[in-house]
Amino acid sequence: MEQQIEKILCHRKKEKITGENLRASAVLIPLFYNQGQYHALFTERSDAVNFHKGQVCFPGGTRELFDSSLLQTALRETEEEIGLKAKDVEILGELDDSITLTSNYVISPFVAFIPYPYPLKADGREIRAIFSVPLSFLMDEANFKQESYEYEYEGHIIWGATARILRQFIDLLKSESGAR
């Protein structure tokens, strides 16, 4: 499946969003294989962070001046937040930029494959929890609440920019599997 995702992402043009009042940020969409199925990894932010308190998101954050690229931002922030080292990440491609509607971040999402099991460790100041959701659950339309644009999985609500990014990824996977 990693090769299929990489093929889907390399054959499309990424939509970039720019604007002088937008803050550049990047996230990693970590995927792994466990017990016969693929999973997407998420974090739940703590209440100690400045923005998006308690929200479910992908690991990542704001681009710093010393980051050479948005990919480096995603990898640096991921290691800070959950202990996943860049050398252990296989980047499969990028999705379109997405904007947070309340805090003016433009998010560049990078899809990656990671080893499993992995000794992840949540940074308690920024991250309250780390959890995963099977891709089969996310691809089942019965699990997506269109009216509120969200998923709910084992008490975790995935909504906002994270849900928009996730929907783009799921729609790309479905369009490719439907084309066969």
- CA atoms of 85 and 56, how far apart (whole Å): 21
Percent of the chain with pLDDT over 90: 84
Which pLDDT score, from 0 to 100, does residue 19 have?
Answer: 87
Which pLDDT score, from 0 to 100, does residue 137 have?
Answer: 98
Which pLDDT score, from 0 to 100, does residue 49 have?
Answer: 67
Q: What is the mean pLDDT of residues 103-123?
A: 96
Quick one: tokens of 95? 């999705």
Task: Say if residue 93's pLDDT is above 90.
Answer: yes
Domain range for 124: 2-178
Task: Say if residue 52's pLDDT is above 50.
Answer: yes
Q: What is the mean pLDDT of residues 103-119?
A: 96
Summary mean pLDDT of the chain: 93
For the entire predicted model, the pTM comes to 0.95
CATH assignment of the domain containing 16: 3.90.79.10
Smallest CA-to-CA distance from 170 within 26, 7, 57, 8 is with: 8
Is residue 146 exposed (0-12), middle (13-18) or buried (19+ Cβ within 10 Å)?
Answer: exposed
pLDDT tier at 48, thresholds 50, 70, 90: confident
- The count of domains in the chain is 1
